[in-house]
Homo-oligomer: A and B are copies of this chain.
């Protein structure tokens, strides 16, 4: 159909946005960018993908309005257009969690200790932090931690957690968080901590959701 009415034209534009979200690599880029702005090179390193490939995906997302870019010296930094992009990602995740048998299978297979983990909600954690009853650890890599983290959180990247167990104060409970609701690292951190006798839980969401909820972030 060559002649389109305005409604069809609008729907095509909505489809452009959805299409831009319809690729696992781009979703991973969004998760990374939700931590903070990044250069193409940094993103390529994180995802372990060729730079040209990442650049193309970023440009596709820019065309769709999901991200913006800004040159800084010889680097081009990309960032999420705004929080509505993360909201769209979240709503797609909800649909998948509710209706995809495959998601359920993956979660069962790899996150089977999930029910044991009794995730802590943002609100609950904020309350417990105020009482000083909890040690909060951020298991993301240091560069992501540096761009913002929960107030008072200590940065213990997952790879170093085992060696640094003695650093953790013997508060009643340890809460681990990372990039977002399905970020694997906090699951593994909690499992490891429990193996060593700590009382540990996950925060339900990651830093981006915490920030979007208007809660305080330390830089």
Contacts and interface: CB of A to CB of B under 8 A. Distances in A.
Contact of A7 (B82, B89, B109, B184): B184
Interface of A (DSSP majority class): helix
A99 B26 CA distance: 17
B22 A93 contact: no
Given A66-B95, A88-B92, A100-B65, A28 B11 contact: yes
Interface string A76-90: 000001101101111
A140 to B, nearest CB: 14
Interface stretch (A13-21, A145-153, A191-199): A13-21
Contacts of A21: 15, 18, 21-22, 92
Residue of A15, A17, A106, A184 contacting most chain B CB atoms (<10 Å): A17
Contact of A111 (B6, B85, B96): B6
Interface string A97-126: 011111100110111000000000000000
A133 interface: no
Interface residues of A, number: 54
A100 B64 CA distance: 7
A73 interface: no
A215 interface: no
Given A15-B27, A81-B99, A9 B88 contact: no
A17 B81 contact: no
B92 A14 contact: yes
A89 B87 CA distance: 11
Nearest to A65: B99
Contacts of A107: 10
Given A22-B21, A91-B84, A100 B15 contact: no
A206 to B, nearest CB: 13
A5 interface: yes
Interface of A: 5-24, 26-28, 64-66, 81-82, 84-85, 87-96, 98-103, 106-107, 109-111, 182-184
